A and B are shown apart, each in its own frame.
Chain A
Amino acid sequence: MKPRPFDYLRPDTVEEALAALAEYGDDARILAGGQSLVPMLNLRLVEAAALIDISQIAALDVIRDFGEAIEIGAAVTQNKLLVWPQLAQKLPFLAAALPYVGHFQTRNKGTVCGSIAHADPSSELPLALALLGGEVVLKSQRGERVLAAQDFHKDMLTTTRVADEMITAVRFPAANSAANGEGRGIAFREVARRHGDFAIIAVAALVEDKNTVRLGVGGMSGRPMVRRIASGKTADAIGEVIADWADELEGYEDLHASAAMRRDLFRNLGPRVIEEAMR
């Protein structure tokens, strides 16, 4: 299928991009990697009077190490981050999760911020943002706002970005930073029908300290959910806590899984992911 007609703009600077957004407002879409957007345009599932192509804005194609946090610009592709030499050391969770994001070919163009903006409920990067306590930097001609994950991701494919705003970067706390606690233990598992598919559920754990693990899950509700779990308890007790949380979240039904199956997947995987993170 072929997309509907649209105007095409390719700003060279962030300022130009924001001016274009102010001009078109809700009718424009930001085109970064296009791996999520262009299929929807081809299938005529979304409207776009204009595409604002930010993929060539040099200022956005940067990974910045601020010590406590790593900032990833909106034009940085997933593969560019995957080969960043500091990734394993500074963002070990992303090092574990990124290979599951799509395929080599889509990661060549798909961006880290683009995936976060797309807000698929089970996808890995929004889960990473929630688990690590990251932030989204939004800019418009009116100024800048920085939102925490849970203030940005609201529901399935729904964020609090307003029409004249664009994501210019996301920030993740670095592994050795205070925000992430002492431990570096991380674990990630997802269940998908095929390699590279959107996950049915994705479960992630981050050890905060001897007694606390942060557990995150995507694919149980409209957005990733994170809770602290007391890890000093028995395996059975941890299992019960997770089982209760699964019931609370309920899960949802789609072509590939029933809500009941999602709950069971979470009950099965949650304890295992915690155990792996703690090893």
Chain B
Amino acid sequence: MTGQLGKSTGKPILRKEDPALLSGRGRYADDLPIPTGTLHAHVIRSPHAFAEIVRINAGKARAQDGVWAVITGEDVRKLSDPFMAAVKTLVQQWTLAVERVRYVGEPVALVVAESRYLAEDAAELVTVDYKPLDPVIDPLEACKSSAPLLHPQTRTNEISVREFRYGDPAGAFARADRRIAMTVPFPRLSFTPIECYVVVAQHNPAENSYDVLANFQGPFSMHPVMARALRVAGPKLRLRIPPDSGGSFGIKLSVFPYIVLIALAARITGRPVKWTEDRIEHLVAASSGPNRVTQIEAAVNKDGRILGLRLDQLEDYGAFLRAPMPGPLYRMHGAVTGAYDIENVEVKNRVVLTNKMPASLIRGFGGPQLYLALERLMHRIAVELKLDPLDVIRRNLIPAQKFPYRTAAGALYDSGDYARALDIALGDGRLADLKRRREQARAHGRIYGIGFAAVVEPAMSNMGYLSTLMTAQAREKAGPKNGAVSMARVTIDPLGAITVTADVTVQGQSHETVLAQIVAAELGLSPEEIEVVLELDTAKDQWSIAAGTYSSRFASGTAVAAHMAAVQMRDKLKAVGAKQLNILPDDVELAGGKIRSRSNPDNALPFGRVAGTSHWSPVMLPESMAPALSETAVWTPPELEPPASDDRINTSLTYGFIFDMCGIEIDPVTYQVRVDRYVSMHDAGRIMNPMIAEGQIRGAFVQGIAAALYEEFTYNEEGAFLSGTFADYLVPTVAEVPEVEILHYASPSPFTPLGAKGLAEGNCMSTPAAIANAIADALGAKEIILPATPRRIHALMQKASA
């Protein structure tokens, strides 16, 4: 099966997407034609972190020429229901603030006018009377009983606490030689795609239905959330995704509240309404990864072997817990022990709310937070036990013979040889070179450090992972949630041309090219001949709640479904071809654009002719065979079971492995961190397209560097947002990106027919940890706060010399 695939996958072919994108012919949401009479919206946002809304004075604005409406929370409350959330609480959230504002930037009102320029002018005429309240910004402060309550209906801001125990952690901690503990915070940041949110909505009053175009990227489990909010059945909310989008990195999940808002605006005004988010809005209020404070402790023996692990993960979701949060806290749950063979684990997961923008999915999705804590602890164990950090890592790595490996918390790691991958990365003189650089630097009085990180990268989420949030009894009542569905369809047109549609949306990961490669390989065609259409339309395409592009689900999910559909089509065409060539189906092969006899290749027909048979002469089809016009495949991997009654959960389908090592130098004159050498070893199973894989890894690497050194959403104590423009929020340019040497090792996944594992989030998880460890090594420091800005390095060095 994979042999066929090798024909055109595994090779770096050029992308199908490029000619259009390079010529300015991309079709992003803001480029698409809109109906005549479309109005334009602008959001008025809260300047306060926490306040009561006393009054919204919109009379003057409404009276302006060209202004059609000013919509407020009260309007929204009348016409829509609060959003469903994953955690059952009394917290209610609508698409505009109702009664109170809870974060700077929260949408308070919507101006709808004939142009965006006019709408912004009118917005300046709207005055809102607020009664400011004391906000709470720090997550630890927010847990205290004295903290201001974000939502009066709850008794605490700490709205979810769940404890898990696997194995015998108490015993492990009792018998271990040492206990080593740390508190590791992870910052709040995002990956700000260059294209912001866009929504165009229309309402059909006759049917009370909505038609929305938006660059939403899934998961489509949010579709029922939006439909419910709009008080319509699913089919009455038609959601169409444009052919191209300018990046997502998980962030274009959070366009969903705006879809509801603009849909309501269309209903209220009776006109189509368009909203294009601008960068200022995006930075203050679009989405953010959650910040987390982890208390992590290991029970270790003198030789560095970890007997037990305890984690208390306090994650800050900002002002509201929107669906599908607290995803990042649970998505990694099965893999909470990372790359290490640890049987005894205690986990406490706490969700707290604060007066900051609501957090959600960003690339890495819980991995960066977990691995910063876990890998800093590994380094710390080495420091305190006076061992080599690599020895500590090695001593605890899951041995190759244990795969498929069931972790303490229930993840089923499909494949891997971590020790071997490590050896390859360290080999060829690489580790020796790093050590030599450190030695020489230190001999000259320079500040140099080496850091490592070993990370297991999950991909393709088990949709049931979030239900681990509930207790086993509660899950029992609610019914099992599990699995992940991926769908793809291969269709033949009258002339035998092939079209592929699938349940992914386009963000730049070259889905079109890879799907074409996969299908072409099975059908004996070239990828150029395969048409791939990925403009998902909920009214006409097949989709499930898992649809979309997120959580690296493409390689282990949709690509597999496409492969299955192509195989189904291939087998049908073999049967059709066999009849026409007068041979047995076993003897048929599809190759070089022909359908022919393997034993007698001259006995051949053009692919298009055979493939078109179902259209033109279905009578020529083999008996009892339905016309092969369209083959749909649905891939539901069996490994993604619901959480067990003991709270074990296989949170993802595939698990890749990454090992990073780096050397950094700190400039004592400018306090800047320079990455001197960086090596990143990736085991992502079978690589479908090496060029695309490398592009994904490099993109994730820069985002990891960004989290380590540059990007952070900063708030002051009053909750004012300080990272409001691209001059304040520092996205790395090419000048800030160090060179990275990428190495590969492949242990194919036995759980996906293609053997591929999702890759693409890995360095978001590993790089911040590796850099933090290198800085710890350089400065001999314990508490490394990321991003390690010059300001923080300066403070660390001052503290050290004091």
Contact = CB atoms under 8 A, between A and B. Distances in A.
A and B in direct contact, judged by CB atoms within 8 A: yes
A83 interface: no
Interface in A159-205: 191, 193-198, 200
Contacts of A4: 121, 124
B795 to A, nearest CB: 8
B722 interface: yes
A256 B733 CA distance: 17
B727 A198 contact: yes
Nearest to A271: B669
Contact of A255 (B278, B669, B714): B714
| Residue of B124, B668, B727 ringed by the most chain A CB atoms within 10 A | B727
A268 B668 CA distance: 8
Given A2-B116, A193-B789, A197-B727, 10 more contacts: A191-B670, A194-B730, A195-B735, A255-B714, A257-B791, A258-B795, A260-B798, A264-B794, A268-B670, A269-B669
Interface residues of A, number: 25
B280 interface: yes
B732 A261 contact: no
A194 B670 contact: no
Contact of B789 (A1, A43, A256, A265): A256
Contacts of A197: 727, 730
Interface in B693-715: 710, 714
A194 B790 contact: no
Contact of B670 (A44, A198, A258, A265): A265
B384 interface: no
A85 interface: no
B725 to A, nearest CB: 7
B669 A194 contact: no
A195 to B, nearest CB: 4
Interface in A235-279: 255-258, 260-261, 264-265, 268-269, 272
Contacts of A272: 669
Contact of B732 (A2, A194, A264): A194
Contacts of A268: 668-670
B89 to A, nearest CB: 34
Q: Give me the 4 closest cross-chain CB pairs, A-B, nearest first.
A: A195-B735, A268-B669, A261-B794, A2-B117
A2 B791 contact: no
B407 to A, nearest CB: 40
Interface of B: 116-117, 120-121, 124, 278, 280, 668-672, 710, 714, 722-723, 725, 727-728, 730, 732-733, 735-736, 789-791, 794-795, 798
A143 interface: no
A194 B722 contact: no
A164 B723 CA distance: 35
Given A2-B116, A2-B117, A261 B280 contact: no
Contacts of B727: 197-198
Contacts of A5: 121
B775 to A, nearest CB: 17
Contacts of A260: 794, 798
Interface SS of chain A: loop
Nearest to B724: A43
Interface of A: 1-2, 4-5, 43-44, 191, 193-198, 200, 255-258, 260-261, 264-265, 268-269, 272
Contacts of A258: 791, 794-795
A45 to B, nearest CB: 10
Contact of A261 (B722, B725, B736, B790): B790
A268 B666 CA distance: 14
Contacts of B671: 261, 264-265
Contacts of A196: 733, 735
A255 B732 CA distance: 17
A10 B120 CA distance: 26
A88 B279 CA distance: 39
A265 B790 CA distance: 10
Contact of B120 (A1, A193, A257, A261): A1
A82 to B, nearest CB: 18
A257 B791 CA distance: 6
Contacts of B278: 1
A260 B795 CA distance: 9
A258 B791 CA distance: 7
Nearest to A3: B117
A260 B671 CA distance: 13
| Residue of A2, A43, A265, A269 ringed by the most chain B CB atoms within 10 A | A2
Contacts of A194: 710, 730, 732-733, 735-736
18 contacts: A1-B280, A2-B116, A43-B725, A44-B120, A44-B124, A193-B789, A194-B710, A195-B736, A255-B714, A257-B790, A257-B791, A258-B795, A261-B671, A265-B671, A268-B670, A269-B669, A269-B670, A272-B669
